[in-house]
Amino acid sequence: MIILNLINKSKIPLYIQIYAEIKKLIQSKILKANEKLPSKKDFMDYYNISQNTIQNALYLLLEEGYIFSIERKGYFISDIENLIVHDVKIENKTQHKEKKKIHYDFSYSGVDSKSLAKTIFKRITKDVYDEENDDLIFQGHIQGDFLLRKSICEYLSQSRGFKVEAEQLIISSGTEYLFYIIFKLFNNKIYGLENPCHKMFKELFLTNNVSFKSIPLDESGIIIEELKKHNVNIAYVTPSHQFPTGTIMSISRRTELLNWANENFNCYIIEDDYDSEFKYTGRPIPALKANDINDKVIYLGSFSKSISPAIRVSYLVLPKELLNIYQKKLPYFICPVPTLNQKILYKFIKDGYFVKHINKMRTLYKKKREFLVNTIKKYSSEIFNKEIYIQGADAGLHLVIKLNQKINEKAFLKECLENSLQLYSLEEYYLEETYNETSSFLLGYANLTNNEIDEGILLLLRILKKYYI
């Protein structure tokens, strides 16, 4: 019987250990070509293992060509002289320090995982394969699947109040990819970014050597005079739900912004409509693009909030003048989203599942937000004898709590993390170091249950009491 060094209490499955041990013996020529291996029964009896365990190990060795089988005779060692050996190191997970699990993560990037339409997606995926569509084996259009683009255009017309042609829409895989396209459309332009904004933008612009200015906000949105002051050519805004402050750009400020772009032939607006589906009170606000008479708005959309960040499908709508530049300058920039994924998403939208999913999630997230707000009010009244101010519109998948004083944020966040709780200081989202007289924290809630929200907020406020008078 061949001797294998097996560790029963290892986190590496036994069949992987057996596979690796036999492979090592073959590679080191201890087991010779055409030598017969012990039978499965011998392995089972000697090592006290199940038939499935030894069968899985032998299957891996067969697949990689280390052994071959002869019917009714058993398994034999292959001649590996001409076999390409790929030495894969099998890591013992116990050697790595496991990352501490965060029990209460108030991240803004998650969604409610239990509400993902998994059954529907499984069925649609099967249907797409069963259709025997030849498109799945070809590269596809550089701007993305035409039917998907058309279905998105129809959705934008119904939900965001503007009409565009499928030829103007480009499918991509994440906001950073969309910005790479935009960067290539312009030369030597100055971008004006809302301050604060997404953390990735500063690094994104610096890495691509693109000039930008941080533009402050007031209660109505981005300050137009600051755009003029810094000679900005392209303004980036999140008017439907500013990230991260959560405010909605006023109608008058939208008009001012459009006028600024219209008055300057080389100026454009980038509208990031990242979570516009989730407005919980009042009438839905049309996109800024809906009032874009002169075609000066580059519109960005995504399915990260509406379906899942894992889907990695985003899109942009280009003004027709910029579309001509895109087609001339970027004919090589191929859509990075797999054709299969695009076909699945198209059917999800076309068959009406997407709208049903949005309506369902809007109801769910509205209730979660109400629960979070009420929980903050309840526990802050009990612990501090006053309610903590909650900033931001009744929309989106996050809100901001604003204190009336400055606290030691570094120490506070560190203690939260030590207690398996994570939240995010608003200061992390400023493009340049800014001193604020008060402390504010961003709380996402989509990926948390009501029980986790309740426990997490109570813990958060108890820790905060040590730092907040």
| Residue 8: per-residue pLDDT | 81
63 domain residue, yes or no = yes
- Whether 86 has a pLDDT exceeding 60, the answer reads no
Q: Is 310 left (phi over 0), alpha (psi -120 to 50) or beta?
A: alpha
| Residue 87: per-residue pLDDT | 52
Residue 404's alpha-carbon distances to 66, 388, 429, in angstroms, are 69, 8, 19
The CATH code of the domain that includes 25 is 1.10.10.10
- Residues in the chain, overall count: 469
Same-domain pairing of 167 and 223: yes
111 domain residue, yes or no = no
Same-domain pairing of 291 and 147: yes
Asked which of 75, 95, 111 is the last residue of a domain, the reply is 75
Contact 105, 422 (CB under 8 A): yes
Beta bridge partners of 235: 192, 269
- Do strands 389-391 and 398-402 pair parallel, antiparallel, or not at all (unpaired)? antiparallel
25-38 per-residue burial string, b: 16 or more CB within 10 A, e: under 16: bbeeeebeeeeebe
| Residue whose C-alpha is closest to residue 186's, from 211, 164, 223 | 211
Where is average pLDDT lowest: 130-134, 390-394, 420-424?
A: 130-134
83 domain residue, yes or no = no
Mean pLDDT of the chain: 90
The CATH code of the domain that includes 455 is 3.90.1150.10
| Residue 11: per-residue pLDDT | 80
Q: What is the pLDDT of residues 339-363, one digit of tens each?
A: 889 999 999 999 999 999 999 999 9
Q: What is the pLDDT of residues 206-250, one digit of tens each?
A: 999 999 999 999 999 999 999 999 999 999 999 999 999 999 999
Same-domain pairing of 360 and 312: no
Kindly report the backbone phi and psi dihedral angles of residue 68, in degrees, each rounded to the nearest multiple of 5, phi listed first: -135, 160
**Which residue range forms the structural domain that includes residue 260?**
133-350
99 domain residue, yes or no = no
Q: Is 292 left (phi over 0), alpha (psi -120 to 50) or beta?
A: beta
How many whole angstroms separate alpha carbon 50 and alpha carbon 43?
9
- Whether 91 has a pLDDT exceeding 60, the answer reads no
How many whole angstroms separate alpha carbon 392 and alpha carbon 403?
14
How many whole angstroms separate alpha carbon 289 and alpha carbon 163?
9
Distance from the first to the final alpha carbon of the chain: 73
Kindly report the backbone phi and psi dihedral angles of residue 134, in degrees, each rounded to the nearest multiple of 5, phi listed first: -65, -20
> What token pair was written down for 462?
């108890």
How many whole angstroms separate alpha carbon 467 and alpha carbon 409?
9
Beta bridge partners of 390: 401
How many whole angstroms separate alpha carbon 192 and alpha carbon 190?
7
| Residue 85: per-residue pLDDT | 56
Same-domain pairing of 288 and 386: no
Tokens 């292959």 map to which residue?
Answer: 78
Burial class (CB in 10 A: 0-12, 13-18, 19+), 281: exposed
> What token pair was written down for 154?
């129809």
> What token pair was written down for 402?
């604003």
85 domain residue, yes or no = no
Same-domain pairing of 364 and 326: no
Tokens 């709380």 map to which residue?
Answer: 443
Same-domain pairing of 222 and 344: yes
| Residue 425: per-residue pLDDT | 95
Helices (H), 66-117: none
Beta bridge partners of 193: 214, 236
232 domain residue, yes or no = yes
Contact 294, 277 (CB under 8 A): no
Helices (H), 13-145: 14-27, 40-47, 51-63, 118-130
Same-domain pairing of 329 and 360: no
Q: Is the dihedral of CA 232, 233, 234, 237 positive or negative?
A: positive
Residue 279's alpha-carbon distances to 272, 321, 336, 357, 397, in angstroms, are 15, 32, 30, 15, 10
How many whole angstroms separate alpha carbon 237 and alpha carbon 369?
24
Where is average pLDDT lowest: 20-24, 153-157, 298-302?
A: 20-24
Based on the structure, what is the number of domains in the chain? 3
Same-domain pairing of 168 and 195: yes
Kindly report the backbone phi and psi dihedral angles of residue 279, in degrees, each rounded to the nearest multiple of 5, phi listed first: -120, 130
Same-domain pairing of 393 and 416: yes
304 domain residue, yes or no = yes
128 domain residue, yes or no = no
- Global pTM? 0.78
- Whether 455 has a pLDDT exceeding 90, the answer reads yes
Mean pLDDT, range 21-37, rounded to an integer: 89
How many whole angstroms separate alpha carbon 6 and alpha carbon 46?
12
Tokens 């992390």 map to which residue?
Answer: 428
Segment (H or E) for 464: helix 450-464
Residue type, 80: I
Same-domain pairing of 276 and 387: no
- Do strands 104-105 and 67-70 pair parallel, antiparallel, or not at all (unpaired)? unpaired
Q: How confident is the model at residue 333 (pLDDT cuts 50, 70, 90)?
A: confident
Longest Cα–Cα distance of the chain, Å, equals 86
Could you give the count of Cα atoms lying within 13 Å of 189 in the half-sphere of its Cβ?
20
Q: What is the pLDDT of residues 395-429, one digit of tens each?
A: 999 999 999 999 999 999 999 999 999 999 999 99
Asked which of 75, 90, 121 is the last residue of a domain, the reply is 75
How many whole angstroms separate alpha carbon 13 and alpha carbon 7?
9
Same-domain pairing of 290 and 363: no
Same-domain pairing of 237 and 366: no
| Residue 445: per-residue pLDDT | 95
Asked which of 49, 75, 101 is the last residue of a domain, the reply is 75
Q: What is the pLDDT of residues 93-116, one digit of tens each?
A: 444 455 678 899 999 988 998 898
Higher pLDDT, 12 or 300: 300
The CATH code of the domain that includes 295 is 3.40.640.10
